Amino acid sequence: MSDLKFQVHDMDIPDEPLALSVLTGFLGSGKTTLLKQLLQHPGMDETAVIVNEFGEIGLDHLLVESSSEDIVLMNSGCLCCTVRGDLVETIRKLYKKRLMKEVPAFNRVVIETTGLADPAPILQTLMSDPFLSDRFRLDGVITTVDAINGNDTLDQQQESVKQAAVADRLLLTKTDLAHEGDFKDLKQRLRNLNPAATIEEIKHGIIEPSSLFNVGLYNPETKTLDVQNWLKAEAFEDGHNHDHEPSLDHKHGHKHDHNHEHDLNRHNDKVHAFCLTHDQPIDWEQLNSWIEMLITLYGNNLLRIKGILNIEGDTNPIVIHGVQHIFHPPVMLESWPDDDRRSKIVFIVRDLKREMFDETFKAFIEDGGDLR
């Protein structure tokens, strides 16, 4: 027993869940260039980056302090770890090495996906795996988009549309090789596809790490849940979103130029985002029934759901977050972020009409589940 106590005492156990970010982007969108720059940046000194193959990053051209079989410690202090097999097992092993002080005490993990990857399964894994969900918190999704070829990629590769749609940060790369007028249309298309994401223009893969992180629900500076920063529901109300159909309260959106909208969506992206709002407190059981119906019938097309809810009988708001079939356990906030007590749910969906959400919400919530 004494040996066990000594071992636990000797472990470096984090005080709070570690931040985890997902870096995605289609083939040729500049992820490799970005990672090369990030791995050398001193602002990454407490970060572990998990990549698919070291060879793709070109670590031979970087300053390397030391390396083991699958982990490289950069001179910047950043760890670089290879995925060899299962991603979950890779993260587990890396975390255990941190506990046993076999690697420096990183406080953030960045997972770089393959260019063809759908980010949704990774997000689902982070939410559903008991080991990971207890020890890590999802900070955000970072997606690179090629300023030169981005429109063509979005036209031809549906996975690239999903990568951009679920992002919290969109990085427009290779802007040094194109005139701003050449990618102005692309930027507006991305804003229309994902109104809540911040778009950053970068050249040669150079960006401050601080611009990429701390976009999740948890604010590490204030140690509180920053739902306004995370949800960004106001982005759907300021004219950037062109999917202006009625909200759950049947209020009309802003007027807009339909011809201009057609130009921005000339290739008819099947993925789009919108925010539903409701003024009155919601019955939790009825809401659960509605969400379960959506998941059962349309789960594969519910790319991401984020919301803050005013629930009947609760003074404090409840936050929900889901990806396709998987939902993170709901979180109750200590207080409302402002005087607005409306429930707000942001949906990022594929091949689903906004009207269906309005109609089924009314049937389940307002009419008490009467679908006749």
Q: Is residue 224 part of a domain?
A: no
Decide if 197 contacts 230 (C-beta within 8 A).
Answer: no
The 3-class SS string of the chain reads: CHHHHHHHHHCCCCCCCEEEEEEEECCCCCHHHHHHHHHHCHHHCCEEEEECCHHHHCHHHCCEEEECCCEEEECCCCEEEECCCCHHHHHHHHHHHHHCCCCCCCCEEEEECCCCCCCHHHHHHHHHCHHHHHHEEEEEEEEEEECCCHHHHHHHCHHHHHHHHCCCEEEEECHHHCCHHHHHHHHHHHHHHCCCCEEEECECCECCHHHCCCCCCEECCCCEECHHHHHCHHHHCCCCCCCCCCCCCCCCCCCCCHHHHHHHCCCCCCEEEEEEEECCCECHHHHHHHHHHHHHHHHHHEEEEEEEECECCCCCCEEEEEECCEEEEEEECCCCCCCCCCEEEEEEEECCCHHHHHHHHHHHHHCCCCCC
Q: Distance between the two ends of the chain, CA-based, in angstroms?
A: 64
The residue segments making up the domain with residue 324 are 234-366
* Structural domain count of the chain: 2
Q: Are residues 212 and 331 in the same domain?
A: no
Q: Are residues 183 and 246 in the same domain?
A: no
Q: Are residues 52 and 177 in the same domain?
A: yes
Q: Are residues 252 and 199 in the same domain?
A: no
Q: Are residues 91 and 125 in the same domain?
A: yes
What is the reported pLDDT for 171?
A: 97
Choose the final residue of a domain: 182, 216, 250.
Answer: 216
Q: Is residue 149 part of a domain?
A: yes
> CATH no. for residue 314?
3.30.1220.10
Q: Is residue 1 part of a domain?
A: no
Q: Are residues 267 and 341 in the same domain?
A: yes
Q: Are residues 88 and 48 in the same domain?
A: yes
What is the reported pLDDT for 63?
A: 57
Spell out a b/e string for 116-137, using b for 16 or more CB atoms within 10 Å of the CB, else e.
Answer: ebbbbebbbbbbebeebbebbb
Choose the final residue of a domain: 162, 183, 216.
Answer: 216
> CATH no. for residue 155?
3.40.50.300
Choose the final residue of a domain: 164, 187, 216.
Answer: 216
What is the reported pLDDT for 125?
A: 85
Q: Are residues 190 and 254 in the same domain?
A: no
What is the reported pLDDT for 238?
A: 59
Q: Are residues 97 and 43 in the same domain?
A: yes
Q: Are residues 159 and 265 in the same domain?
A: no
Q: Is residue 169 part of a domain?
A: yes
Q: Is residue 226 part of a domain?
A: no
Q: Are residues 41 and 100 in the same domain?
A: yes
Q: Are residues 44 and 158 in the same domain?
A: yes
Token pair listed for 84: 């060899």
Q: Which residues of the chain have pLDDT under 70?
A: 1-10, 53-69, 238-269, 368-372
Q: Is residue 95 part of a domain?
A: yes
Q: Is residue 229 part of a domain?
A: no
Q: Is residue 255 part of a domain?
A: yes
